[in-house]
Amino acid sequence: MAGVTILLLHAFPLDSRMWGPLRSALEEAGHPVAAPNLADETSSLGVENWARRVLADVEGDLVPVGCSMGGYLAFELWRQARARIHALALLDTRATPDTPEQRQARDDSIRVLGEDGFDPFWEATGPRLFAAGTPTEVVEQARALAADQPITGLVAALETLRDRPDSRPTLATVDVPVLVLVGEEDALTPPPDAEAMAAALSDARFLTIPGAGHLAALERPREVGDALLHFIEDVVR
């Protein structure tokens, strides 16, 4: 369907620049692309507010492509505007809400950011995002993007992540094609969890990316780009 916008929704603690080569590949293939930045010091908290802002800023029909935090927003976009959504791609994400332990970890990260700043936060967070053997330049690219975010924006994102709704009931309502993609070494949203999410969807395609962790789109952009292009060209006619 001509004119459908591919809506790239980035992961925490990064911004829309994480999509670099993948965005270029989509645009070169002729697809309109939008890639908003989701959290900054001026953003209202909550995926509900983020979704309203994105839906107002990006007109027309959409294929949301959400990585991690972006996937949580993709579920909210579906709840608010399902008539505008022709397909979904859920990358390294999950439908479940934070457990009490995960909520506490978010609060601990907020405290570290407030008291000690970015470097200790990244030292605790960064290593968990990547597969073993990820090239140093990829890790450093992600660190640079994260370091560019204002502390207030990182805190706002953590609060939104902590307080997001349970999207498991939403899965049964999704009646469009969904690509569920996960890094084979994703420790935060591991493949068995992603596969279970795919099984709860009525029309899902499940794919693992070898050698990738929680940021497969950044770690393996060519493989993820090929998978995403194949999916989009199949479902957007």
- Label residues 165-202 b or e (16+ Cβ within 10 Å = b): bebeebbeebeebbbbbbbebbebbbbebbeebbeebe
Residue 13 CA neighbour count, 13 Å, CB half: 32
Average pLDDT of the residues in 45-65: 95
Question: Domain span at residue 9?
Answer: 5-235
Q: With cut-offs at 50, 70 and 90, classify the pLDDT of residue 44.
A: confident
Give percent of the chain above pLDDT 70: 97
- pTM score over 0.75: yes
| Position 237 pLDDT exceeds 90 | no
User: What residues have CB less than 8 Å from 190, skipping those under 6 apart?
Assistant: 182
What is the model's pLDDT at position 236? Answer: 84
Sheet holding 88-91, edge to edge: 33-34, 5-9, 62-67, 88-91, 178-183, 204-209
pLDDT at position 1 is 43
Q: 116-157, pLDDT tens digit by residue? A: 999 999 999 999 999 999 999 999 999 999 999 999 999 999
Provide the CATH number for the domain around residue 160: 3.40.50.1820
What stretches of 29-99 show up as alpha helix (H) in DSSP?
47-57, 69-81
pLDDT digits (tens, 9 = 90+) for 166-214: 999 999 999 999 999 999 999 999 999 999 999 999 999 999 999 999 9
Q: What is the pLDDT of residue 12?
A: 97
DSSP 165: P
The distance in angstroms from the start CA to the end CA of the chain is 4
Strands 204-209 vs 5-9: parallel, antiparallel or unpaired: unpaired
Look at residue 18 and tell me whether its pLDDT is greater than 60: yes
Give me the number of domains the chain comprises.
Answer: 1
Backbone angles phi, psi at 85, to 5 degrees: -105, 125
Nearest CA to 79 among 166, 9, 208, 209?
Answer: 166
Task: Report the SS3 class of residue 131.
Answer: coil
Paired tokens of 160 = 């939104």
Q: Residue 118: which residues within 8 A CB-CB, separation 6 or more?
A: 146, 147, 151, 154
Handedness of CA 61, 63, 69, 73 (dihedral sign): positive
| Interacting residues of 214 by C-beta distance below 8 A, sequence separation 6+ | 11, 68, 92, 128, 129, 130, 183, 186, 187, 188, 189
Confidence of residue 41 (pLDDT cuts 50, 70, 90): low
